[in-house]
Amino acid sequence: MALKTTEVEAKGGPSRHRSLGLSDEQALKIYEVMRLARAVDERMWLINRQGRAPFVISCQGQEGAQVGTAATLRPGYDWVAPYYRDAGVVLWFGMTARDQMLSFFARREDPNSGGRQMPGHFGSRKLHIVTGGSPVATQLLHAAGVALASKQRKEDAVTAVYFGEGSTSQGDTHEAMNFAAIHKLAVVFVCENNGYAISVPQSSQMAIANVADRAAGYGFPGVVVDGNDVLACYEVARRAVERARRGEGPTLIEVKTYRFTAHSSDDDDKRYRKAEEVAIWRQKDPILRYAGYLRDAGTLTDQREADITDRVTVQVDEATEYAEQAPDPTPDDLTTFVYKQELPS
């Protein structure tokens, strides 16, 4: 077992996806989900800035890391415990643009929470997406518990858990990695390192360059990967998922990436990072980069791009229209589901 952090370099070549075992169709599906995640997100900002919805929190810039890793899992069989930026992960796992918009407008029909939680707090029992709250890093322990249950029942389901690099400062991160290592649980830890925890840069968060280096301290592999290279993310995640499914234990994947937007619609990122820095990273946009690759590979044609754009636009338009007009919860909804079994009044 290689305990040293491995730097996975982006490898060129026009048939990279095929050498990873991805058909053209699968490669395009990954692209389409990335595009959909971005489009839903952009629409939310637009609506927020028009004053039609109070809050948005973004996935922009991290879609490659999210979809590239999630695409190695079996939706509905494997589990994910996402964090609040993981629109790309949950869309891959079967959530729809409509579900996201219902959450964004906090409607009664919002399948995540019935309009109770802020946007980005995903959850669906049916889709095997563990509900998340706002305290960070708690979900790492939930993922370990989900994986423990799989092991107890002798099932080979894999649980992937997502978190930012800021979350790695929390004790729950340590406790979860330690527990998953002891029991060789089928957990894939995916740290989406976007360089900032709201305003705090990585250099104030930790004294090391790579979060993945910590994996050695728990006794499992840590891998650093370019999070804006979706196929590189896919490659390392697939290896981690296969290892987990074989019962060999967890892996920590650190995807180095960047968020294009402020932390949320209530944040002003000009207070802590330069516009030039953002501009540099926008040049590395994982969607543009992947589109370029797919074009070079002959997989993405003008016609296919146009079809994808049409489908994405239709979904976002339909989702927005539906969700904006969908009914709010009623005041009576305030007191339901405190318990699964309602208490006698």
Partner 1 sequence: MAVKTVIEAIREGMDEEMARDESVFLIGEDVGNRGGVFLATDGLYKKYGALRVIDSPLAESCIVGVAIGAAVNGMRPIAEIQFADFIAPAMNQIIEEAARFCYRTAGDFNLPMVIRAPWGGGVHGALYHSQSIEATFGHIPGLKVVVPGTPADAKGLLKAAVRDPDPVLYLEHKRTYRLVKGDVPTGDHVVPIGKADVKREGKDLTLIAYGLMLTYCLEAAETLAAEGVSAEVLDLRTIKPIDQAAIVATAKKTGKVLVVHEDNRFAGIAAEVMAIIMENAFDTLDAPVMRLTGPDVPAMPFNQVLEEAFMPNVDKILAKARELAAY
Least Å distance, CB 142 to partner 1, is 4
Let me know: does 294 contact 300? Beta carbons within 8 Å: yes
Residue 79: φ, ψ to 5°? -120, 150
Least Å distance, CB 52 to partner 1, is 23
Q: Measured between alpha carbons, how far is 236 from 93 in angstroms, rounded to an integer?
A: 19
Least Å distance, CB 295 to partner 1, is 41
For the chain, what's the residue count?
Answer: 345
- Cβ nearer to partner 1, comparing 180 with 312: 180
Let me know: does 125 contact 211? Beta carbons within 8 Å: no
Least Å distance, CB 164 to partner 1, is 17
Instruction: List, in sequence order, every residue forming a beta bridge with 8; answer none if it has no partner.
Output: 225
Least Å distance, CB 161 to partner 1, is 9
Let me know: does 271 contact 199? Beta carbons within 8 Å: yes
- Cβ nearer to partner 1, comparing 77 with 310: 77
Please confirm, yes or no, whether 17 is among the known catalytic residues. no
Q: Which of 107, 263, 290, 293 is catalytic?
A: 263
Q: Measured between alpha carbons, how far is 71 from 238 in angstroms, rounded to an integer?
A: 9
Kindly list the residues in this chain that would bind partner 1 in the complex (CB under 8 A).
Answer: 79, 81, 111-114, 116-117, 121, 123-126, 130-131, 133, 135, 138, 140-153, 171-172, 175-176, 178-179, 182, 333, 336-341, 343-344
Both structure tokens of 29: 């599906």
Q: Which residues contact 127 (CB under 8 A, 6 or more apart)?
A: 75, 76, 90, 93, 94, 95
Least Å distance, CB 93 to partner 1, is 14
Please confirm, yes or no, whether 259 is among the known catalytic residues. yes
- Cβ nearer to partner 1, comparing 51 with 344: 344
Q: Measured between alpha carbons, how far is 296 from 17 in angstroms, rounded to an integer?
A: 12
Q: Measured between alpha carbons, how far is 332 from 330 in angstroms, rounded to an integer?
A: 5
- Cβ nearer to partner 1, comparing 14 with 76: 76
Q: Measured between alpha carbons, how far is 231 from 22 in angstroms, rounded to an integer?
A: 10
Please confirm, yes or no, whether 196 is among the known catalytic residues. no
Looking up tokens 């891959």 gives: 92
Q: Which of 116, 272, 273, 304 is catalytic?
A: 272
Burial of 257 (0-12, 13-18, 19+ CB in 10 A): buried
- Cβ nearer to partner 1, comparing 171 with 327: 171
Q: Which of 35, 107, 259, 289 is catalytic?
A: 259
Let me know: does 244 contact 186? Beta carbons within 8 Å: yes
- Cβ nearer to partner 1, comparing 96 with 313: 96
Active site residues: 259, 263, 272
